[in-house]
Amino acid sequence: MNEQNMKLVAVKKRCNTAAKIVGVIQVFTIVCAAIALIAGIMLFVKGGSINPYLQQGVAEGKLTTRNTIEYNGLFHFFADLDEKFEEGNYAGPMAVSCLAAGLACVLVAVIVTFIKRIFVVVREENSPFSNRAMKQIKTGFIVMTIAALLTMSLGVAVVTGFILFCIYAIFEYGAALQNEIDETL
């Protein structure tokens, strides 16, 4: 086996391993999203019966409505929601926090799905510079930029988008070189 084939086999093995690891992360984030979304829905639906227990936790100092995730970007309005609920309704802010955490997990699951697809395509196509791989990379980067816009500040999202665009441009250049080499052969 020549050196080039050995490198190709090594790349396929790494892509296969990476796809499996990302698959585990994908399942984990889907499970976390389901748990958070179900908890949020249950807190909204059963808030009246859960509130006495939550009030007791607040009275004992074990629980505060400030124990929420800090949100940035377009989700920032969730951070101040607990101030808008009347005193004694602790299930509402917690439900909103759980639902927001569930949405964040869904975003991560979507991004991880695109990353997994990239590894699978590179493994199957024998090159990260095939047209199919380039489409997956471009779509994944667009989704990551949108997720950055939703979860981070506009400045961070713009920088993230620019960096991902630069990485895509490098891949595009590699694809052009790959096509040139293939045509020469």
Residues 49-89 have pLDDT tens digits of: 887 887 787 777 776 655 544 444 444 444 455 454 556 67
Closest among 102, 175, 98, 99 to 136, alpha carbons compared: 175
- What pTM, to 2 d.p., does this model score? 0.71
20-24, 31-35, 121-125: lowest mean pLDDT where? Answer: 121-125
Using an 8 Å Cβ cutoff, are 148 and 51 in contact? Answer: no
How is the chain split into domains, by residue range?
3-184
Do 136 and 29 form a contact (C-beta atoms < 8 A)? no
Q: Can you tell me the mean pLDDT for 4-30?
A: 87
More confident residue, 103 or 8: 103
Say which range, 11-25, 103-117, 126-140, has the weakest mean pLDDT. 126-140
Please name the residue ranges forming H helices in the chain. Answer: 3-45, 47-59, 81-84, 91-125, 131-151, 154-184
Q: How confident is the model at residue 25 (pLDDT cuts 50, 70, 90)?
A: very high
Task: Give the model's confidence band at 134: pLDDT under 50 very low, under 70 low, under 90 confident, else very high.
Answer: confident
Locus of tokens 């995730």: 69
